[in-house]
């Protein structure tokens, strides 16, 4: 019985822990999004349009992020060009 309780206890324990782990990841993600300036999505679209004039790329291959480091704001553009081109 004790062993059964122990095993059940372990399994249940993991559900609250799972909740915490999932929230930790989600909140970090949503906080960075919430801080992103309103112009970011529009700017991303326009940059994509410019690039599309010269190379064919998948929309998902352009990553834009805004970070803060040592008091500086860093705008990072990361573009993966399709293989064999560019």
Partner 1 sequence: MARVIVVTSGKGGVGKTTTSASFAAGLAQKGFKVAVIDFDVGLRNLDLIMGCERRVVYDFVNVVQGEASIKQALIKDKRVDNLFILAASQTRDKDALTQEGVGKVIEDLRADGFDYVICDSPAGIEKGAQLALFYADEAVVVTNPEVSSVRDSDRILGILQAKSKRAIEGDDPIVEHLVLTRYNPNRVQAGEMLAMEDVVELLNIKLLGVVPESEDVLQASNSGLPVILTEGVSASEAYKDIVDRFLGEDKPQRFLSVEHKSLFKKWFGK
22 binds partner 1 (CB under 8 A): yes
4 binds partner 1 (CB under 8 A): no
27 binds partner 1 (CB under 8 A): yes
29 binds partner 1 (CB under 8 A): no
Choose, by CB under 8 A, the member of 1, 2, 3, 15 that binds partner 1: 15
The total number of residues written for the chain in this structure: 86
Tokens in use for 23?
């929230």
Q: Return all residues near 82 (Cβ < 8 A) that are at least 6 apart.
A: 55, 56, 57, 58, 61
19 binds partner 1 (CB under 8 A): yes
Query: From the CB of 60, what's the least distance to partner 1, in Å?
Result: 25
Q: Return all residues near 80 (Cβ < 8 A) that are at least 6 apart.
A: 57, 61
The strand ranges marked E within the chain are 62-69, 72-79
Which residues make up the interface to partner 1 (CB under 8 A)? 9, 12-17, 19-20, 22-24, 26-27, 30-31, 34
């Amino acid at each position: 019985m004790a062993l059964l309780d122990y095993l059940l206890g372990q399994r249940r324990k993991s559900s609250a822990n799972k909740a915490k782990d999932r929230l930790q990841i989600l909140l970090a993600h949503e906080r960075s999004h919430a801080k992103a300036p309103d112009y970011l999505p529009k700017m991303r679209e326009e940059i994509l349009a410019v690039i599309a004039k010269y190379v064919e790329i998948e929309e998902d291959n352009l990553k834009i992020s805004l970070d803060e480091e040592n008091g500086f704001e860093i705008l990072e553009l990361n573009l993966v060009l399709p293989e064999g081109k560019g």
